Amino acid sequence: YEHDGIQKIRVQNDGAYYNLEVSGSNKKSTTGTLSILGNLSIQSKLDVTANNDSIKLSGNWENTGIFDERNAWVILNGNNPQNIYSASSSPFYKLFFTGTGTKNLASAIAIDSTLKIDTVSTLDVSSNNYKITLKGNWINNGAFNPEKGTLLLDGNKKQFIGGANTTVFYNITLDNTSGTQITTNENLIGTLILTNGTFTNTGKKFTLLSDANGTARIAKIPNSANFAGTITMQRFLPLGDNGWRFL
């Protein structure tokens, strides 16, 4: 769809496109659930309309234009690896990773509501350590490879971190005056930075991991933030060294 005028993207008779490119100088609007078996390239503006039409994608997401997410789900369901590149000005609303193919970030991404990882899926922030900015809830029922990336929680209402599986995060930054609460045991490799709001782990384990590469930490907490609950802190001791160590 490359016309310079406004265009409506019709639903295919067989229910799906293979590859879909949205270009031209004006917006393209969905007319129903958009199913794409290959790649989606957004070079102009894609609007899911007030109907909040979901997008189901089996290939790569490449957004160098504008995505008007409204309140819609984007579902990445490929069984082969999928790459996600999103222009910084275009967040997702709800993002669901399913299918057995690893979902690899090719840029930082932002989600205005829920991020969910299905039981069969893996989300990898890649060796570039791309940031995930989340305003809603984190639900991990699958696997997450944090590399050395950061999860920024900056919503305007209380956010929950949970799911069926424990997530190992590298860095977490909380900048939400309504706070966040973990509903599943969670682990941290790097640093927890509390800028605004209370990080609550009542009834769950929040473990600061330690190995030969380093020990997780909580940065100095300002008056605008707090930590409520208990911490499980590991301390790595090298094999064969009988000297004393600070714990």
Cβ-contact 44, 66 below 8 angstroms:
yes
Choice among 80-84, 198-202, 233-237 with the minimum mean pLDDT: 233-237
- Neighbouring residues of 213: CB distance < 8 A, sequence distance ≥ 6: none
The whole-model pTM stands at: 0.94
Q: What tens digit of pLDDT does each residue of 31-88 get?
A: 999 999 999 999 999 999 999 999 999 999 999 999 999 999 999 999 999 999 998 7
pLDDT-derived band at 241 (thresholds 50, 70, 90) equals: low
pLDDT of residue 242: 64
pLDDT value of residue 163: 98
Q: pLDDT grade, residue 243 (50/70/90)? A: low
Q: Mind listing the pLDDT tens digit for each residue in 4-23?
A: 889 999 887 777 999 999 99
Contact (CB, 8 A) for 134 and 156:
no
Integer CA distances (angstroms), 43 to 40, 48, 59, 215, 218, in order: 10, 15, 16, 43, 41
Both tokens assigned to 224: 């605008």
Question: What percentage of the chain carries pLDDT values higher than 70?
Answer: 97
